[in-house]
Structure 1
Amino acid sequence: MNNDSPSTTAVSRVRVERRTDGDFADTPNPRLSWTVESAVPGWWQAGAEVRLDGGQAGERVARLDTDESRFVAWPFEPLRPHARHTLQVRVTGVDGGTSPWSEPVTVHAVFLADGEWAAPFVGLAPAQDGAAGPAAPGLLRTELDLGADVARATLYASAHGVYQVEINGQDVDDALLKPGWTAYQHRLVHEATDVTALLRAGANAVGVRLAGGWWTERYGFHGAARTFYGERPAVAVQLHVELADGTTSVLTTGPDWRGAAVGPVVASGIYAGERIDARRALPGWSGPGFDDSAWPRVDVHPSDVVPEPAIAEPVRRVDELAVQDVITTPSGRTVLDFGQNLVGRLQVRVTGERGQVVTLRHAEVLEDGELGVRPLRLAAATDQLVLSGEEDVFEPEFTFHGFRYAEIDGWPGELDLSTARAAVTAVVISSDMRRTGWFECSDERVDRLHENVVWGMRGNFVSLPTDCPQRDERLGWTGDIQVFGPTASYLYDSDAFLASWLRDVAAEQAARDGVCPIVVPMVLPFGAKPAAAWGDAATVVPTTLLERFADRRALAEQYPSMRAWADVLVGLAGDRLLWEGMFQFGDWLDPDAPPDDPAGAKTDPDIVASAYVVRSLQLVTAAARELGDPEAAGTYGDLAERARLAWVREYTTPAGRVVSDAQTAYALAITFDLVDAATRATMGDRLAWLVRRAGYRIGTGFVGTPIIQDALTSTGHADVAGRLLLQTGVPSWLYAVTMGATTVWERWDSMLPDGSINPGEMTSFNHYAFGAVADWLHRTVAGLAPDAPGYRRLRVAPVPIAGLDHASARYETAYGTAEAGWAAHGGQIVVHAVVPANTSAVIVLPGTVDGEIQVGSGRHEWTVPDPRQQAVPQPVTLASTLGEIADDPEAYAVVLDAVDALAGKWDGNLRSLQEWTDQRTLGDELVRLPPAAPERLRTVLDELNSRRAAPAAR
């Protein structure tokens, strides 16, 4: 290769496997990825070199004849356990230029050899008097003597519960809630942390802070919660030390360790919160020479599961927020407002009398001016801080809360805004993934909606993808992530996170004859029932990882799981290949469903279930082709087509109607490719008509919401999709924004217009499922989508919608920064795109019929006529039809505001009207209003018409 090093091309962000927080090799043959930055237009890689241990004895260089820079196969002999190497990459382009070597990264093999895990799980001995309780938090410790300086040391540890390790008085890392939540009975993960700097020749001590966490939590609803995993937490520690004199030492947990229910953390629970007593602090407890003679020996806990290396980023502190307001409630209580619904806990600095208790209660909203705790159900979400008499700094360690507001009781002295800001900080926690995706547009309400989606993901990606972070639930609901996966894959590099969770999916399926449970990990007594859209996470999420990250290894790992779920579906569907008459969630939380029946949707659940039979069979067929399994591709492809035809025969009419004449039914038919092209167009028209009839308000639940905008825009109804997006009435995406939401809600009306909380038992203010619309904002409104796995080829096809003047998206692909967007100026649309080096793009310009444009890397721009029709507003009168008014956003808003002012909560309020059609006039709809209403409406409409006519007259 030409070794000249032009400054125009450089290699950056060399990565080993999936994690974004370090170069951890969890397998002997890790894949390599790198990003090329080049000022050369259309730069394309011709080959690469990978250098191992450059400049050291045993340096090796592998020359790769490949144009790929994402998940490139390991080019050397397999790594050995505990190995560490440096790695560099340089590339040569098709132009002949070669980059300099990249900065070296350290490859750390974090796996152990087969049979090498030797550490038993140990926990506190049962309390003699029972006062501490079986799940009591506690401290465990031991000491070791090292006869020489330490050359290298790695800590491997896992737990039944949550823990942190200290060595000689220092935490080994900044990870929280280790080892996270997995399907513990099937799969445990261990950390592999470099602790060389914490050890020294001579005496050393290892200590563990341990609590029950998810292991001892009680799961279930309606007061029937029960412990699922175990009553007592335990930890396993294995410390590998290499000394400067060449000798090695391995320390493991064992019966000689000591532990006691001592230390500041008195009680801890995921749902309950934590009680911390600063009077119980034990200085020096994790250092050598501490007197632990009064501590009992630990108990050894049996475990048949050998931990595997963690493949995903751990939970960490990712942000801090200051108090925005101090509120005195009507009852006289003090509440802190952080201005943002978040997930984490409070860090508190306080001085008061010894033994004084400060109580912190957390909630997402206020109701009637007080802390709104009813949606928490049985989760106390309360922390108690017992003061030492000196200045104390508290932060709960083994719990977390979903909250915007915190009620403070027992605070010593006054707590005004300046005092609160100095004393209390909200610590935001999340799995520490790298942010990769951004969106912005000309409507600040849509930008706020997008920001709400981001915050919802941050709060619900805590070790696993949960439904909500605040109440007595916080479970890995499979349906939620099935619909949200594409959005998650854009906002954050969630490949490692989701690939790890999918291993739990496969493990839970294997224990249930292929059924993917409704929650993973599966801790509910009824969770093993197969349910459409929920169980289909087994096929959809691996497909998403291939599409968005080019992660073929994840697809291959999950392929047996995907096939197992498909086989379950075929068995359930029977000879007719229709899944009918069984338990389903259906189009969960359809806005018309009653508060006490969230499954009571407009779309028949059998229609949903049978559509997902087709969808999963299609995805398994595609996976089989991708992985080179033609026999399976043929088998599942035939089943998919037969199931599709069965769906069409059973649920559609010759005129192109679906027997459930509802938004979700048509969205499924269109986006799942269930019907032919002509019928698809007809169904798109019907879907648009239904949305218009509803006054451009959403009529879908968990199943329909993520796909309705794609169904509309792909059938030529971008104008309708735009009206649906920008709607602010309830139900709509922007309704919550107008109500001050800072995360996405579980229900379209989790808070009612009067400020009261929805009366349903199930009401959360931080649920990401409806936020799946953000994927459509990225791909369609801004126009940035993958056209080949991992964005190796981009598809830039923006769809400008009425009501926006510009929109853009920026995404950090594995190949570099990609951008796309548009702006409207003087009747023209200017489209821009940034294509990373070593990728290409397909461009489809708005309103063009000349086909696609192919471009290489670089910055590009095009100008085309604005294809959006600029309708001239027509005069509006009482004789105008409701359909005409619905089509006129300004008139629609004026009429609704006028009716609201006249009638308040009138039984026939137009805001809840379901029939905005051309067969009814505005005058017809006013018959139940006060007699003065028609005259008042005429005045309002005359003012509107005059205002509109004035610009034309000028």
Structure 2
Amino acid sequence: MPHVADAPRLEYGLDGGAVPIARPRLSWRSRAEEPDWQQSAAEIRLDLDGEEHLARVDGDASVFVAWPFADLTPRARGTVRVRTEGASGWSDWSQPAPLIATFLGSGEWQAHFIGLQEPSAEAQPAQLRREFEVGSGLRRATLYATAHGVYQAFVNGSAVDDQHMKPGWTPYQYRLVHETTDVTALLEEGRNALGIALAGGWYTEHYGFQGQARPFYGTQPAVAGQLLLEYADGTHDWVVTDASWRAAGDGPWLTAGLYRGERFDASRLQSAWDRPGFDDSAWRSVALADPGPVPSPRTSPSVRVTQVLPVREVLTSPSGKVLLDFGQNLVGRLRIRVVGEAGSTVILRHAEVLENGELGTRPLRVAAATDAYTLSGVGEEVWAPSFTFHGFRYAQVDGWPGDFDPEAVVAEVIGSDMRRTGWFECSDAMVNRLHENVVWSMRGNFLYLPTDCPQRDERLGWTGDIQIFGPTAAFLHDSDSFLSSWLVDLALEQEQTGGSVGFTVPDVLDSGRIPTAAWGDAATVLPWLLHERFGDRATLARQYPSMKGWTDHILGLAGERHLWEGMYQWGDWVDPDAPADDPARAKTDPDLVASAFLFLSATLTAKAAGELGFDADASRYRAAAERVRDAWLAEFVTPAGRILSDAQTAYALALEFGIATPELAAGFGRRLAELVRRDGYRISTGFVGTPLVTHALTSTGHTAAAARMLLQTECPSWLYSVTMGATTVWERWDSMLPDGSINPGEMTSFNHYALGSVADWLHRVVAGLGPAEPAYRTVRVAPVPIPGLEHAAARFDGPYGEIRVGWRREGGSVVVTATIPANSRAEVTLPGRDAFEVASGTHTWTIDDPEPGRDTAAITMDTPLSAVIDDPAAYAAVVAAFDSVDPAVGQDFRRRTRWVANQPLASTTRLVSTTVVSALETKLDELNAGRGVR
């Protein structure tokens, strides 16, 4: 067989071949052992409701190929296969990919929103039911359902699926999504029952801070659904939510909320409530609620349990509490198996960290993060909360009846079920753990929407966080449909504000009329990213009005000065030098940051216009970007080439956004490297600068400086949290202080992906795997073997197939390997060589090591501080000398010293006792003796 065609992937790639649109785009991959295999044509076979359809595609297109058949109709079912042609002939037909159309026809949505008639409390959970008849010859039964809140449906006592917190969170006033579920196997001829358990979820949650949180949408949940029964004779019936349903509010769910957790009393459970024949005479008629917009089918991945973790260790706190350590900070819930007397209650409290041996709950703020289960007393009882989730590594168990068995509790990891696509590994175990922490933070915070954190009274879709993290997310998981769906919500809310974008989407903080740089720029950055990384031109086209709206709005604010200035900004958020109570007070001028992002958005909008064929728009936005560039350089750069905000973020923005002219770029790179060295290769950037600083260093030739930043373990640094035992990325560089206490600020999370955006640099620069064309049609192979690592590699399961790029040091050489999938090629840039192209296949190159070992010079009291910090062994000796006198003196030395070229080492001892001088001289003598120098 010359080559093999894999089963095609339908657009959105949802469960079981679910297709939410009538014309899904198709993608497929070919595998070939022969090098330089290229597709010359493809044939697509659609088997739909018993009929076969064929279509031919000439050329090499295989990613997001337009649907070549007639529009699908609601509930259409079939399979799609593909075969591909290359120089050696045709492949066999691929395995079939299932197809199920999950959308409704025009006017088919009939369901009413229903809820409790007279709720006794705010956000009261409810149970709702209806019995119905199923005739003979049932061919198919499909349930469509949505909620103002969260729900699970049951047919004849069985849950209809394994999804959690359906239907997720959208701006309910503008967009609702419905699930589409085949429930045929759960029905039988005759009497059947449909039951729905309902809670408030995001719809009734209180949003806001400083004691001012209030419900944004409503105070009571409601649900709407309709069950379609299709029979073999062509007839059909609908069972819809309407006034005929019955409801109860006194069931086992006492309370359920995102922040407070869930309370469940099993003694109140009526076991047959969702089965036919149940006596619901004590239940009441339902109330009809406001309908909202007609729901559309889900286009993003489902949320479900994706992994189960056992208890790693049982601890006893100083106060005598039973604490469970799962060994990993995660997002999800606990599932317990328990036997005990009726009425006894097990209480489960959750936290990410311990402080002084007890649960560290202060960072949760007002979120109780507590679940409670009251036993029925009947045999072994198994329970997990249905309508909440928590961010935690540790759990406190109170009220457990009898002896506690750790095997009776597991942690279920919950999140949007996206396919993993990207991996990275290197020779440094701590860097590998850092990368794993990034993966876990993405898993936990991609739950229906990209959130900031999963544990405290927030969990919002902050636009700035995902704008920063998008490139990393696009590598680690197949996140195209997830982010594309969220961008629909962004655009819908943006339409209400005249082009501005809120701090969060959904905008429950009512911030949409306060444009903020780096946050609102998600409107331009993410659509272009999805085009670049996935080849998703359709999302780019759909979001283009949103891109224009944002850019035009900010250009209008900039006015004739072409600078965005003097307005509310988050700036370089969580700059490590900012006060704990004011994370926005960064070293970099917020107007400089804002105007740089104005340039970026104008540039990206121009690129999008060019890609989409809007030539006049492209010219207009390019011209606007040039005016912003000229104004930025005139306002913020001195004639000598120094940026007025002389901070790492300022130079990184200018270099990575392309503001710097070729004449300025080298100088900006040198100054950035000087600042990084001056600061001891510790982090000096916040949200805005962190994704850019290592890119800016390596792109201007300062590879060693970037490597030292990556491998730094002192606070603030990426690896500091790893040395403190972190298993996810922290919100602040010092979320936990070196003494093990929690940062005293009111804003501290131990699971925030934003600062993990350095992983994009690990993938694209250190390993050297990136896209040179959209969807990696051409791969960019450009590894940078940084000092301090012996090897590094990345693997990406991309649209054209698996890509591997890696390198390893061997003696004085570096061996680079790359595997490029069929029907694609690569542009290769290796240190010391001119760029060249290669075809698909596996390749190996050997080059001279670009970072050979350095000469070891003598270090004396007259050695410049810049030379000391650039010599890791010398730096370690100097620090050890200060620490040997007193750790507090050593800490102060590291905090105060500015590692500059025009100060000798002796200058650091000018205000310290002679004891330090003596210790320092001793350490230097030992260092020099070991090097054989004086």
Matched residues, number: 933
Does the residue aligned with 1:905 lie in a helix, a strand or coil? helix
Residue 889 of structure 2 aligns to which amino acid in structure 1?
Answer: W
Picking from 4, 8, 12, the partner of 1:14 is 8
How far apart, in 1, do the equivalents of 2:912 and 2:665 lie? 41
Does the residue aligned with 1:923 lie in a helix, a strand or coil? helix
Does the residue aligned with 1:857 lie in a helix, a strand or coil? strand
Which residue in the other structure is 2:486 paired with?
Answer: 501
Does the residue aligned with 2:502 lie in a helix, a strand or coil? coil
User: Which TM-score applies when normalising by structure 1?
Assistant: 0.96
Does the residue aligned with 2:705 lie in a helix, a strand or coil? helix
- Identify if the C-alpha distance between structure 1 residues 874 and 413 changes in structure 2 by more than 3 Å, giving closer, same or farther: farther
Which residue in the other structure is 2:431 paired with?
Answer: 446
Which residue in the other structure is 1:384 paired with?
Answer: 372
Once the two structures are TM-superposed, the CA of residue 907 in structure 1 deviates from its matched residue by: 8.6
Residue 384 of structure 1 aligns to which amino acid in structure 2?
Answer: A
Check if 1:49 corresponds to 2:43.
yes
Which residue in the other structure is 1:871 paired with?
Answer: 854
Check if 1:393 corresponds to 2:382.
yes
Residue 662 of structure 2 aligns to which amino acid in structure 1?
Answer: A
8 Å contact from structure 1 (residues 697, 731) kept in 2: yes
Structure 2 spans left out of the alignment, 5+ residues: none
8 Å contact from structure 1 (residues 20, 434) kept in 2: no
Check if 1:854 corresponds to 2:840.
no
Once the two structures are TM-superposed, the CA of residue 805 in structure 1 deviates from its matched residue by: 0.3
Once the two structures are TM-superposed, the CA of residue 901 in structure 1 deviates from its matched residue by: 3.2
| Of 240-249 and 883-892, the range deviating more from structure 2 | 240-249
Check if 1:82 corresponds to 2:75.
yes
Once the two structures are TM-superposed, the CA of residue 513 in structure 1 deviates from its matched residue by: 1.0
Picking from 397, 412, 422, the partner of 1:408 is 397
8 Å contact from structure 1 (residues 903, 929) kept in 2: no
| Of 136-145 and 618-627, the range deviating more from structure 2 | 136-145
8 Å contact from structure 2 (residues 577, 586) kept in 1: yes
String of CA shifts for 1:859-884, please: whole Å, max 9, x gaps: 11111111113211212233322211
8 Å contact from structure 1 (residues 148, 245) kept in 2: no
Does the residue aligned with 1:505 lie in a helix, a strand or coil? helix
Does the residue aligned with 1:669 lie in a helix, a strand or coil? helix
How far apart, in 2, do the equivalents of 1:427 and 1:811 lie? 27
Check if 1:746 corresponds to 2:731.
yes
How far apart, in 2, do the equivalents of 1:73 and 1:199 lie? 37
Once the two structures are TM-superposed, the CA of residue 893 in structure 1 deviates from its matched residue by: 2.2
Does the residue aligned with 1:574 lie in a helix, a strand or coil? helix
How far apart, in 2, do the equivalents of 1:509 and 1:57 lie? 44
| Of 498-507 and 115-124, the range deviating more from structure 2 | 115-124
Which residue in the other structure is 1:111 paired with?
Answer: 103
8 Å contact from structure 1 (residues 80, 109) kept in 2: yes
Structure 1 spans left out of the alignment, 5+ residues: 1-6
Once the two structures are TM-superposed, the CA of residue 919 in structure 1 deviates from its matched residue by: 2.3
Picking from 198, 203, 216, the partner of 2:186 is 198
String of CA shifts for 1:897-916, please: whole Å, max 9, x gaps: 33223222239722213511
Check if 1:101 corresponds to 2:93.
yes
8 Å contact from structure 2 (residues 897, 908) kept in 1: no
How far apart, in 2, do the equivalents of 1:908 and 1:809 lie? 37
Question: What is the aligned-residue identity percentage?
Answer: 57
- Identify if the C-alpha distance between structure 1 residues 897 and 322 changes in structure 2 by more than 3 Å, giving closer, same or farther: farther
How far apart, in 1, do the equivalents of 2:638 and 2:880 lie? 40
How far apart, in 2, do the equivalents of 1:758 and 1:908 lie? 18
8 Å contact from structure 2 (residues 2, 88) kept in 1: no
Picking from 316, 319, 336, the partner of 2:324 is 336
Which residue in the other structure is 1:947 paired with?
Answer: 930
How is 1:642-653 mapped onto 2 (pairs within 5 angstroms)? Answer: 642-653=627-638
- Identify if the C-alpha distance between structure 1 residues 890 and 143 changes in structure 2 by more than 3 Å, giving closer, same or farther: same
Residue 489 of structure 1 aligns to which amino acid in structure 2?
Answer: A
- Identify if the C-alpha distance between structure 1 residues 467 and 57 changes in structure 2 by more than 3 Å, giving closer, same or farther: closer
How far apart, in 1, do the equivalents of 2:14 and 2:800 lie? 14
| Of 75-84 and 591-600, the range deviating more from structure 2 | 75-84
Picking from 646, 658, 664, the partner of 1:661 is 646
Residue 136 of structure 2 aligns to which amino acid in structure 1?
Answer: A
Once the two structures are TM-superposed, the CA of residue 18 in structure 1 deviates from its matched residue by: 1.9
Which residue in the other structure is 1:462 paired with?
Answer: 447
Does the residue aligned with 1:819 lie in a helix, a strand or coil? strand
Once the two structures are TM-superposed, the CA of residue 410 in structure 1 deviates from its matched residue by: 1.2
How far apart, in 2, do the equivalents of 1:426 and 1:206 lie? 30
Once the two structures are TM-superposed, the CA of residue 924 in structure 1 deviates from its matched residue by: 2.0
Does the residue aligned with 1:846 lie in a helix, a strand or coil? coil
How far apart, in 2, do the equivalents of 1:412 and 1:146 lie? 45
Which residue in the other structure is 1:433 paired with?
Answer: 418
Does the residue aligned with 1:705 lie in a helix, a strand or coil? coil
8 Å contact from structure 2 (residues 111, 242) kept in 1: yes
8 Å contact from structure 1 (residues 608, 665) kept in 2: yes
Which residue in the other structure is 1:3 paired with?
Answer: none
8 Å contact from structure 1 (residues 126, 134) kept in 2: no
8 Å contact from structure 1 (residues 695, 913) kept in 2: no
How is 1:363-374 mapped onto 2 (pairs within 5 angstroms)? Answer: 363-374=351-362
Once the two structures are TM-superposed, the CA of residue 405 in structure 1 deviates from its matched residue by: 0.7
How is 1:118-137 mapped onto 2 (pairs within 5 angstroms)? Answer: 118-127=110-119, 130=120, 133-137=121-125
String of CA shifts for 1:358-390, please: whole Å, max 9, x gaps: 111111111111111111001010111112223
Picking from 910, 916, 932, the partner of 1:933 is 916
Which residue in the other structure is 2:207 paired with?
Answer: 219
8 Å contact from structure 2 (residues 502, 511) kept in 1: no
Check if 1:261 corresponds to 2:253.
no
Does the residue aligned with 1:405 lie in a helix, a strand or coil? strand
Does the residue aligned with 2:28 lie in a helix, a strand or coil? strand
Residue 117 of structure 1 aligns to which amino acid in structure 2?
Answer: W
Query: Which 4+ stretches in 1 moved above 4 angstroms?
Result: none
How is 1:809-828 mapped onto 2 (pairs within 5 angstroms)? Answer: 809-828=794-813
How far apart, in 2, do the equivalents of 1:572 and 1:663 lie? 27
Picking from 155, 174, 185, the partner of 2:173 is 185
- Identify if the C-alpha distance between structure 1 residues 125 and 898 changes in structure 2 by more than 3 Å, giving closer, same or farther: farther
How is 1:419-430 mapped onto 2 (pairs within 5 angstroms)? Answer: 419-420=405-406, 422-430=407-415
Once the two structures are TM-superposed, the CA of residue 932 in structure 1 deviates from its matched residue by: 1.5
Once the two structures are TM-superposed, the CA of residue 555 in structure 1 deviates from its matched residue by: 0.5
Once the two structures are TM-superposed, the CA of residue 105 in structure 1 deviates from its matched residue by: 1.8
How is 1:793-804 mapped onto 2 (pairs within 5 angstroms)? Answer: 793-804=778-789
How far apart, in 2, do the equivalents of 1:868 and 1:371 lie? 46
8 Å contact from structure 2 (residues 2, 89) kept in 1: no
Does the residue aligned with 2:285 lie in a helix, a strand or coil? coil
Once the two structures are TM-superposed, the CA of residue 630 in structure 1 deviates from its matched residue by: 0.6
User: Which TM-score applies when normalising by structure 2?
Assistant: 0.98
8 Å contact from structure 1 (residues 573, 580) kept in 2: yes
Does the residue aligned with 2:65 lie in a helix, a strand or coil? coil
How far apart, in 2, do the equivalents of 1:926 and 1:847 lie? 42
Once the two structures are TM-superposed, the CA of residue 506 in structure 1 deviates from its matched residue by: 0.2
How far apart, in 1, do the equivalents of 2:909 and 2:464 lie? 42
How is 1:764-843 mapped onto 2 (pairs within 5 angstroms)? Answer: 764-843=749-828
Which residue in the other structure is 2:274 paired with?
Answer: 286
String of CA shifts for 1:312-367, please: whole Å, max 9, x gaps: 11111011111111111112212111111100011111112211111111111111
Once the two structures are TM-superposed, the CA of residue 445 in structure 1 deviates from its matched residue by: 0.5
8 Å contact from structure 1 (residues 744, 765) kept in 2: yes
String of CA shifts for 1:292-331, please: whole Å, max 9, x gaps: 1111011111123110111011111011111111111112
How far apart, in 1, do the equivalents of 2:634 and 2:740 lie? 46
8 Å contact from structure 2 (residues 172, 292) kept in 1: no
How far apart, in 2, do the equivalents of 1:76 and 1:137 lie? 45
String of CA shifts for 1:148-173, please: whole Å, max 9, x gaps: 13211211110000011111111111
How far apart, in 1, do the equivalents of 2:292 and 2:369 lie? 33
How far apart, in 2, do the equivalents of 1:43 and 1:810 lie? 20
